[in-house]
Structure 1
């Protein structure tokens, strides 16, 4: 083969690659996350990992790669704003302290890569890892994903949880003081809180989580110290809190979100609406509560409490982002399947499916501070795209039928090629 022939072949192959750089998705039913509606017969053109165009009757080149999802419901990639990918506890036998002793950071990281892939394969292209990952295990998982060693979603990461002395532990004897520092950073003053924020950011955190109530209540000044310090790095603060004065302090201190908030009053929910503070409700189903070791009566009562709070938050208009908080897999179910049991609570609270889907897409993106790049399917947004078999606006549980997943323009899963 002559040099001229080789040159022509290289030129031809290069030209084909350049001309075939777009992926064209034919979306029969398209979820418009901004408006909460289904649009029909849309075309999505993907180029270099991002959405180039969306609309009907778009022109595209015959050399483009075509993906026919004409019979599917096409959605933005889903988001879960409260996960613990490195943690897994036995069904009805949660003993966190035992896990702290028995599992190394490296083992937790390995589990985290497996669970992260489960989330991605099931349509969750973005998650917020909220802590309890040993000695910054998730920071290395993120590096591995970015290097292409493993596949996983985009991860917004909290690092170690910042808490008053003792973290969320109890009953630890003095000979084992600081045992909890495997998972938490003790911080009891505004200056200590600021230092803890800086430490987490140093080790890769992109969101900051505090815990208030379990071993002490942070006052408004404490919360504000965390918010102000994190703001220097363009990072948000979220707080594990249930209700009462602890929640009032979080709201007054200007945190971006409240995790759980099981006991929030209507007045607090209204204040959150006025200040734009998100509720990440982690609304466990009966089965989830039971898996944590609750008896049947207690699990029922707790689930009813969450249904009531969820109804009130929706009626008031408190901003909400979807979060699950599952660390116990249900029998014969993986992490995502176990997590999606929370949809039973949302349905029991009679929350419209379109709104639930918005909390899993555009509203989560807003809380996470990535609403200018993810959460909706529009030009210049990352091509995080999934498809399901049935209409999720008729039954939100249709999101359990994900069979196509694209993350940043890369096809992760396509079961109907």
Structure 2
């Protein structure tokens, strides 16, 4: 009996030591997302998934778990605020309505698990899944990640997209009416919008997305109905706006947290967004991305110039921006994240400094998502979402393609 007690006592001690063990990261260069600068020779202490201390003179024990990143550039985990992990359409041959008819929710979910892992392994520890995921496929992907069955980032999830009648479909014949409801909820008045918000929250949504301007324009009161309903649950609203001027202004005045795309927002609207604190998630496609969607070269060039110009104006004005990509067509021989990062061509063409681009991927994205007190910064009491790069991203933002270390909530996911 005494022997059994001694063994149990020893196992308990071992367990407590394991639980209490601190991970020490020696960061040769650490990105301070607040200042946009690299700090040299920093120590990051991590315990139970949380950062406990950061600094150049932080004390630690030789018995701690030490990870030496002295020759690396260490950053907070990156965030992409506009992704579609369950969708992948053919190169230059998009047929969204055909996808509704040929791909089940379960197939979409399986694809989503693959792409979710790609995001995590390439340094994106948080993403905002913005819809177009069949019949709530991402809700189950999130559950699987939380249960530890699969690897993936922290996911903010929009559920089905709320839109005027027709969603974003075009030319669906009356015999197939409501085909689009596989991914959209028709809502054409404030009460219908409120009900749609509740339906999405019931099915796991942690952010709400509306579409305006494709098959109808929501007025200020309709946007406000979504914002007010979501606010009851502590959830934010973001709205897809492409080219319609009235649609964009209504979204800003309605109090939405963000505008997705906003390709042709003018100076007045961008200034109003700055005043209201409305974020722009610009999804700034490069030429290669537009071309992959089936555009001819002239159209792809014109669209690239449009988004680059809008991006440049938004930065100059000081409109809040968070990084987002919106890719559903992979480029040949590239995975989803590699395809996504082609958008950096537009950011570079617009003359946006690398430090600011990193801020849109960290503290700015965290603010938009409402997690600015827990993620997006390497600081005490923040989750230990930490990545490391082989090269300096402040010299060339393309360095974010050189991820060789990923930690999510204190757990090492990748270490090359």
Q: Same fold (TM over 0.5)?
A: yes
Q: Say yes or no: does 1:283 pair with 2:317.
A: no
| Deviation of the 1:4 alpha carbon | 6.3
In structure 2, what is the Cα distance between the partners aligned to 1:166 and 1:15?
57
Aligned to 1:186: 186
Return closer, same or farther for 1:347/1:11 CA change in 2, 3 Å cut-off.
Answer: same
Alignment of 1:364-383 (within 5 A): 364-383=365-384
Alignment of 1:84-233 (within 5 A): 84-233=84-233
| Deviation of the 1:15 alpha carbon | 5.6
Encode CA deviations 1:310-345: one digit per residue, 9 max, x unaligned. Answer: 000000000000000000000000000000000000
In structure 2, what is the Cα distance between the partners aligned to 1:255 and 1:8?
56
User: Which stretches in structure 2 are left out of the alignment for 5+ residues?
Assistant: none
| Deviation of the 1:12 alpha carbon | 5.3
Runs of 4+ in 1 over 6 A off after TM superposition: none
In structure 1, what is the Cα distance between the partners aligned to 2:369 and 2:307?
23
| Deviation of the 1:354 alpha carbon | 0.2
Aligned to 1:50: 50
Q: Say yes or no: does 1:340 pair with 2:344.
A: no
TM-score normalised by L of structure 1: 0.98
Q: Say yes or no: does 1:78 pair with 2:85.
A: no
In structure 2, what is the Cα distance between the partners aligned to 1:173 and 1:311?
41
| Deviation of the 1:59 alpha carbon | 1.1
Aligned to 1:313: 314
In structure 1, what is the Cα distance between the partners aligned to 2:14 and 2:372?
38
Give the aligned CA root-mean-square deviation in angstroms. Answer: 1.2
| Deviation of the 1:166 alpha carbon | 0.4
In structure 1, what is the Cα distance between the partners aligned to 2:342 and 2:17?
47
In structure 2, what is the Cα distance between the partners aligned to 1:302 and 1:34?
32
Aligned to 1:410: 411
| Deviation of the 1:213 alpha carbon | 0.7
Aligned to 2:14: 13
Given that 2:19 and 2:48 are in contact with CA atoms closer than 8 Å, whether structure 1 keeps it comes out as no
Aligned residues: 414
TM-score normalised by L of structure 2: 0.98
In structure 2, what is the Cα distance between the partners aligned to 1:350 and 1:4?
67
In structure 2, the residue corresponding to 1:327 is in which secondary structure? Answer: coil
Aligned to 1:328: 329
| Deviation of the 1:9 alpha carbon | 4.0
In structure 2, the residue corresponding to 1:262 is in which secondary structure? Answer: coil
User: Which stretches in structure 1 are left out of the alignment for 5+ residues?
Assistant: none
Aligned to 1:23: 23
In structure 2, the residue corresponding to 1:201 is in which secondary structure? Answer: helix
